[in-house]
């Protein structure tokens, strides 16, 4: 059955921002398209970034458009648009650059879809399987190869960051890139649109590269998406609203490609915006150098002062002066004498900026009319301004940190539609680390938990000591329990199981491209089922809860966190893991440590005891078995996590030096110990369930 879009849990109100988020929105300088795009591409997720993403998505909804041609009709239109862009880019270098920027952004589109709230939605899993296959082919490299008739390469030649720092981009190009970035930031609310966009993109790529191995690859992936969609429709059919969302996603791709074509054309309004931006940037640094120079009857200092506000005054004065020849712009004294080799201002403007200024003065003579695509950037900026006013005028939400673990769990899981959850995440992480720091001396009474100077060999020895010690401790527990206790234990573990892998979502997505990021992503992919709905760990656990006759709402719903059958303390550890995922850039090193502790947890006697208890009752134990298998200490996640830390520490020692490596190691070890501490709390919660006969041999 195709699931309906789930923008917010039942009973949810409009997006709520924290006081910090409101201040960020109120204090943001006047937006321009480049800044909007850069912010949407930044890490980590912030309340302001979510504000922009929601604004861009709402703007697209407002524009509407389309011909109600259905998903396949919209996808076919997008395929034709991409083919036209590729043909045009062979003779139009700006279009090639704009197209590659768009391709880089599209390669980021799917890395956020594996959200906790999407685990139970079948639509997520075929999309995530495409992310795993991105190692094999790069959209950006494929397009460039076919445009330039080069041999296709699977290596990226430029990064998204390098494109965003390039001053030659036009507003339409920035908007085209901002749209998939916004969809990616709203991976739960906009999952159907993401599916429709991706469906159309892979179909279009198969069309562009047809009759080649690359075309066969994209065609194969497109057919997988098509088959997955047909399967979901057969299982239950799709609601009209969902079908429209899928079509809207495909139309969105066609709209983005239209923006790219527009960005490569000469256009008076766009050329004026670009030239004014250049003058604004240069004028900030020129005020002290031209105190007595006159231009058009005004002192240059006055014109520069005006230019810092709009940039238009200095352009108008130049156009009216004899420095610019409107009939021969390239031969104008401004460009030949002043900016040319040997001129007083040689080197002040880059060649890209000089070309943009020349285009502006040419466009003044041969102005072209604006089109719907060319006016879209300014319309979006106006829409964002109104969107900001609406947020700032809305009644403030309840302030302060979450009141308890249940509230923290609910808030941080739902941060996409309730951005204040990001601020709540910081409170949660700070509180847990502060609590651990107070309890650390007690934990370090165990010799193997004490800090030690890092070396690869010492680290590996210590991890093995802890592995064997923990295994002995849990195997000494008598965990034979009755039916009620077994059900109670699994109910208490549900908040953790439902978010399995969540701590790796953002850190692995943000660091793909280096070895550490790829290792993290590989572990994360296993946790969430490698693109297979039935293999997702949270979904496996839901089936197990069904075997117990325990129906639970999705973890994002208020009813889950409010379920009094689940102990209050059972929400503490998973709330921390969801929260630290939202703050991944601040706690990268701690996450490496806590991930190792989590992967080692599957190797102790508790998991084996749960397998025994379930299988004696002829119940499925696949949730526990998959962890014992995947986390094994010889080649599984536990060993991979050890290698990951060794690799990371080796890089730090080589490139940052010994002093920095000590600081990094202390943070990794702190993350590891914090998770050990939290697991002891979690185990105590599980062991506290009724009728458990706990004896220590």
Domain membership of residue 500 (yes or no) is yes
3-state secondary structure of 482: coil
* Domain match, 244 and 343 both: no
Same domain assignment for residues 236 and 290: no
Q: If you average pLDDT over residues 386-395, what whole number do you get?
A: 90
Instruction: Please compute the mean of the pLDDT values over residues 213-226 and round it to a whole number.
Output: 92
Taking the CA atoms of 426, 432, 438 and 443 in sequence, report the sign of the dihedral they define. Answer: negative
Give the residue with greater pLDDT, 468 vs 408.
408
What is the Cα–Cα distance from 587 to 685, expressed in whole angstroms?
Answer: 26
d(CA 249, CA 658): 50
Mean pLDDT of 626-640: 81
Q: Which of 184-193, 258-267, 510-519, 604-613 has the highest mean predicted lDDT (pLDDT)?
A: 184-193
Torsion angle of alpha carbons 256, 257, 259, 260, nearest 10°? 130
Q: How far apart are CA 152 and CA 326, in angstroms?
A: 43
Residues 335-362: b if buried by 16+ CB within 10 A, e if exposed: beeebeeeeeeeeebeeebbebbbbbbb
How far apart are the C-alpha atoms of 113 and 131, rounded to whole Å? 10
- What's residue 426's pLDDT? 96
Which residues make beta-bridge pairs with 512?
Answer: 514
Whether residue 697 lies inside any domain: the answer is: no
Spatial CA neighbour of 204 closest among 111, 77, 67, 65 = 77
539-579 residue pLDDT tens: 999 999 999 999 899 999 999 999 999 999 999 999 999 99
Q: What is the pLDDT of residue 1?
A: 34
* Rounded CA separation 652/595 (Å): 19
More confident residue, 407 or 267: 407
* 291 Cβ contact partners less than 8 Å away, ≥ 6 residues apart: 299, 301
Q: Of residues 374 and 87, which shows the higher confidence score? A: 87
Cβ-Cβ contacts under 8 Å for 281 (sequence gap 6 or more): none
Residue ending a domain, among 263, 298, 325, is 263
Residue 43 lies in a domain: no
Is 692 part of a structural domain of the chain? no
Q: Which residue has the higher pLDDT, 441 or 690?
A: 441
**Residue 296: per-residue pLDDT:** 61
**Residue numbers of the domain that contains 549:** 407-448+463-687
- pLDDT at residue 193, as a whole number: 97
State the pLDDT at residue 137.
63
Q: Find the mean pLDDT for residues 402-413.
A: 94
Residues 79 and 223 in one domain: yes
Question: What's 70's domain CATH number?
Answer: 1.20.910
Of 414, 540, 607, 351, residue with least CA distance to 15:
414
The residue among 510 and 47 whose pLDDT is bigger is 47
Query: Does residue 129 share a domain with residue 149?
Result: yes
Share of the chain above pLDDT 90, in %: 55
Average pLDDT (230-247) is 80
Q: Rounded to 5 degrees, what are φ and ψ at 430?
A: -60, -45
Query: What string of DSSP letters covers 87-129?
Result: HHHTT-HHHHHHHHHHHHHHTTTTTT---GGGTT-TTHHHHHH
How confident is the model over 659-694, as pLDDT tens digits? 999 999 999 999 999 999 999 999 889 888 855 544
Q: Evaluate whether residue 386 is within a structural domain.
A: no
Helices 124-132, 191-208: axis angle to 10 degrees equals 50
Rounded Cα–Cα distance for residues 548 and 649 (Å): 45
- The whole-number average pLDDT for the span 309-313 is 66
| 518 shares its domain with 566 | yes
CB 515 within 8 A of CB 597: no
pTM of the model: 0.84
Cis peptide, bond prior to residue 294, ω within 30 of zero: no
DSSP string, 235-289: HH---HHHHHHHHHHHHHHHHHHHHHHHHTS--HHHHHHHHHHHHHHHHHHHTTT
pLDDT tens digit sequence for 160-216: 777 777 656 788 999 999 999 999 999 999 999 999 999 999 999 999 999 998 899
Closest CA to 323 of 314, 289, 348: 314
107 and 179 assigned to the same domain: yes
Give the model confidence (pLDDT) of 331-343 as tens digits. 999 899 888 888 8
Of the three residues 263, 292, 325, the one that is the final residue of a domain is 263
- pLDDT of 154 reads 45
Is a pLDDT exceeding 50 seen at residue 57? yes
Q: How far apart are CA 189 and CA 177, in angstroms?
A: 19
Domain check: are 232 and 325 in the same one?
no
Domain count, the chain: 3
Average pLDDT, the chain: 86
Q: Do 562 and 647 share a domain, yes or no?
A: yes
Q: How confident is the model at residue 321 (pLDDT cuts 50, 70, 90)?
A: confident
Higher pLDDT, 303 or 484: 484
471 pLDDT exceeds 80? Answer: no
Is pLDDT at 155 greater than 60 in this prediction?
A: no
Does residue 187 sit in helix, strand or coil? coil
Burial of 475 (0-12, 13-18, 19+ CB in 10 A): middle
More confident position, 642 or 308: 642
Domain shared by 291 and 313, yes or no: yes
Query: Dihedrals φ, ψ of 696, to 5°?
Result: -105, 125
Tell me: pLDDT of 586 over 60. yes
Give the 3-state secondary structure of residue 308.
Answer: helix
237, 263, 289 - which closes a domain = 263
pLDDT value at position 170? 83
Classify 181 as helix, strand or coil.
helix
**Reduced 3-state DSSP string for 558-596:** HHHHCCCCCCHHHHHHHHHHHHHHHCCCCCHHHHHHHHH
Query: Residue 696 gets which letter from DSSP?
Result: B
Across residues 294-314, what is the average pLDDT?
63
3-state secondary structure of 603: coil
Q: Are residues 257 and 283 in the same domain?
A: no
**DSSP helix/strand/coil, 75:** helix
Residues 549 and 597 in one domain: yes
Asked if residue 25 belongs to a domain, the reply is no
Rounded to an integer, what distance in angstroms lies between the CA atom of residue 41 and that of residue 184? 10
Most distant CA pair in the chain, distance: 97
Run of H or E residues at 299 = strand 298-299
Q: Which two tokens mark 544? A: 């197990």
CATH number for the domain spanning 630: value is 1.20.910.10
Residue pair 493/681 in contact (Cβ under 8 Å)? The answer is no
Residue 199 and residue 273 in one domain:
no
pLDDT more than 70, % of the chain: 86
Query: With 0-12 CB in 10 A as exposed, 13-18 as middle and 19+ as buried, what is 655?
Result: exposed
Say how far apart CA 485 and CA 502 lie, in whole Å. 27
- 312 touches 276 (CB < 8 A): yes
Distance CA 607, CA 611 (A): 6
pLDDT of residue 166: 61
Residue spans of beta strands (DSSP E) within 301-348: none
**Residue 512 to residue 655: CA distance in whole angstroms:** 20
* Residue 13 placed within a domain: no
Asked whether the predicted pLDDT for residue 33 surpasses 80, the reply is yes
Q: Which residues are CB-neighbours of 488 under 8 A, at least 6 positions away?
A: 689, 690
Residue 15 lies in a domain: no
Contact 358, 325 (CB under 8 A): no
């Amino acid at each position: 059955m195709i699931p309906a879009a789930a923008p917010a849990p039942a009973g949810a109100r409009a997006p709520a921002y924290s006081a910090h988020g409101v201040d960020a929105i109120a204090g943001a300088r006047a937006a321009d398209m480049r800044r909007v795009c850069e912010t949407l591409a930044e890490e980590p997720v912030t309340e302001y970034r979510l504000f922009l993403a929601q604004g861009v998505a709402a703007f697209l909804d407002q524009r509407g458009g389309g011909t109600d041609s259905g998903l396949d009709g919209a996808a076919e239109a997008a395929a034709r648009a991409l083919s036209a862009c590729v043909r045009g880019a062979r003779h139009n270098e700006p279009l090639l650059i704009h197209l590659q920027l768009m391709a880089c952004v599209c390669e980021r589109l799917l890395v956020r879809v594996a959200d906790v709230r999407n685990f139970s939605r079948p639509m997520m899993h075929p999309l995530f399987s495409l992310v795993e296959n991105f190692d094999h082919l790069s959209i950006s490299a494929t397009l460039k190869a076919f445009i330039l008739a080069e041999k296709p390469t699977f290596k990226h030649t430029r990064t998204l960051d390098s494109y965003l720092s390039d001053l030659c981009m036009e507003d339409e190009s920035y908007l085209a890139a901002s749209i998939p970035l916004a969809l990616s930031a709203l991976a739960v609310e906009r999952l159907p649109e993401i599916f429709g966009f991706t469906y159309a993109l892979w179909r279009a790529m198969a069309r562009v590269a047809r009759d080649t191995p690359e075309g066969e690859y994209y065609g194969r992936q497109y057919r997988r998406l098509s088959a997955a969609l047909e399967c979901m429709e057969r299982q239950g059919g799709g609601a009209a609203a969902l079908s429209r969302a899928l079509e809207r996603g495909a139309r969105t791709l066609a709209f983005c490609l239209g923006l790219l074509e527009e960005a490569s054309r000469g256009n008076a309004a766009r050329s004026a915006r670009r030239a004014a931006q250049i003058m604004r940037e240069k004028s900030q640094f020129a005020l002290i150098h031209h105190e007595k120079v006159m231009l058009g009857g005004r002192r240059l200092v006055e014109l520069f002062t005006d230019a810092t506000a709009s940039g238009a005054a200095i352009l108008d004065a130049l156009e009216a002066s004899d420095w610019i020849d409107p009939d021969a712009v390239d031969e104008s004294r401004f460009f030949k004498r002043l900016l040319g080799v040997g001129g007083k201002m040689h080197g002040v403007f880059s060649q890209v900026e000089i070309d943009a200024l020349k285009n502006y003065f040419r466009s003044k003579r041969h102005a072209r009319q604006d089109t719907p695509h060319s006016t879209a950037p300014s319309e979006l900026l106006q829409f964002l301004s109104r969107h900001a006013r609406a947020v700032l005028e809305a009644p403030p939400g309840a302030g302060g940190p979450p009141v308890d673990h249940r509230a923290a769990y609910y808030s941080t899981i739902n941060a996409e539609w309730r951005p204040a959850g990001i601020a709540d995440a910081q409170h949660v992480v700070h509180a847990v680390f502060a609590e651990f720091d107070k309890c650390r001396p007690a934990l370090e009474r165990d010799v193997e938990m004490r800090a030690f100077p890092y070396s690869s060999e010492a680290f590996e020895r210590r991890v093995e000591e802890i592995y064997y010690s923990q295994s002995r401790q849990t195997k000494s527990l008598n965990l034979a329990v009755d039916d009620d206790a077994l059900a109670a234990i699994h109910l208490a573990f549900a908040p953790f199981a439902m978010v399995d892998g969540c701590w790796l979502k953002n850190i692995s997505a943000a660091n793909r491209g280096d070895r550490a990021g790829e290792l993290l992503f590989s572990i994360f992919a296993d946790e969430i089922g490698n693109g297979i709905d039935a293999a997702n760990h949270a979904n496996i656990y839901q089936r197990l809860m069904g075997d117990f006759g325990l129906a639970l709402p999705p973890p994002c719903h208020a009813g889950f966190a409010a379920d009094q059958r689940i102990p209050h303390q059972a929400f503490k550890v998973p709330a921390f893991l969801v929260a630290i995922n939202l703050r991944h850039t601040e706690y990268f090193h701690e996450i490496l440590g806590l991930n190792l502790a989590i992967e080692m947890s599957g190797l102790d006697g508790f998991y084996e005891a749960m397998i025994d208890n379930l299988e004696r009752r002829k119940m499925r134990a696949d949730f526990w078995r998959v962890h014992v298998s995947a986390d094994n200490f010889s080649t599984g996640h536990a060993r991979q996590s050890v290698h990951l830390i060794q690799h990371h520490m080796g890089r730090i020692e080589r490139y940052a030096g010994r002093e920095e490596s000590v600081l990094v190691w202390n943070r990794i070890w702190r993350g590891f110990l914090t998770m050990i501490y939290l697991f002891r709390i979690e185990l105590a919660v599980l062991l506290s369930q009724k009728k458990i006969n706990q004896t220590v041999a």
